[in-house]
Structure 1
Amino acid sequence: MFSSLGPLSRLLMFSAILALVAGCGGGGSGNSSPPPSNGGGTTPPTDPKPDFTEVDETFQTFIDDSIVFDGISYVVVDATGTLHTATFGDHTADTVVMLASTSKVPAVMTLMALEEDSDSSFSMSQPIGEVLPFNGVYADRTPAQLVSNTSGIPGLRQLGLYGPHLCQFSFEESIDFEACGQILLSVPLPDSHEAGTIFDYGGSQW
């Protein structure tokens, strides 16, 4: 076929074929699109964005069915920032609520970080009487027992018998934080138990 063409015609024909092949990506280097990954590359795949749809639906169902709670709000964060926020019922993004037992999480995280710090001598298994500047009937209890609600110190179920221990719930400016802590450590409560013998949630051990 090509033998009947002159030299110039054959050159033009080959140039057209090469251009067509290059345009179709047949081995040409001008294609800027990367080849599809075969899973063997060194670049890690991008983590998919977390989906909180099911969680949100669960909270919404809970609020719809509850005769006690009027609203719920929550936020999920990680080291990079806020991942998700949602409000339900009568809650809005500006609703102010008490942290209450939610504060237990950062409190324990702080204690664990302190124990792991090589510059710290703090230990979760060390009696608190060896750490605090005052002593008392509960001085032999350890932080691990306190935060696991197994210290034997009566929990919230005995709130009616707390007496002077109620200082921990006061917003009075006259209540000294350290003085209240000394009361919690030194004033025995009814129905106290040996550490490790009972689970009793919350209260003075926190």
Structure 2
Amino acid sequence: MGTDAIFEELKANLKNRFLFYIPSGAFKSSGIEEQAKAFDLIMDQLIIVLPNGDIKSGDYSIHILEILEKPTNLKHNLFRLLDCKANLTPPQFEFLLGQYENTLNFYTFVSNWMNEHLQEYWPEMEKVLPFYFKFQADTFKEHAEALNNHFPKFQFKKEALKRFSEKVINLSKKDPVVKTENKTFAKPSKEMTNEEIDAYLLQTVFNIDKRHF
């Protein structure tokens, strides 16, 4: 398996079994309102990225066990990287690790932001949900710390999170999200591929150019 395929495998484990919520306020005064309309089915809703990469909204409770299995996915990534260190050339491995570090920084930032700030924009969030957002944020943080311990050249630093934070569109605290009813997810007329979901979240919501990944 080539390094490209290995990276796609590792990236999928970062993205899948992921819980997120995009407040529509992220698009106010951003100049991308029209683009956002194409994806309005995932706005102001609790979204789960399933193990196969599909996205779903609605009753998240039936997927709780999948969310709680996230640490196992990330531990698999750690073992995979250890194998790669032993089998790839040093330049190949350093490049792979660098790409993985960038992607992990993004997911760590997003999960941490949702854990710390989402209730400000979603005041009617179910009482149990903060636990899962905290669990998710802690899982990514612990994974980064494990990588720091195993790979001296991998340094997950607060500066990386600050770099993402500076690029994020400011949300308006004056306009809290209106609660929407859970419903079965209906695919938009333009079906979203996994790559389109990545690009959408990175560029339109967090204002980060996907080419950095």
Fold conserved (TM > 0.5)?
A: no
TM-score between both structures, scaled by the size of structure 1 = 0.21
Q: Which has the higher helix share?
A: 2
Where relative contact order (Cα < 8 A, 6+ residues apart) is larger, the structure is 2
Select the structure of larger CA radius of gyration.
Answer: 1
TM-score normalised per structure 2: 0.20
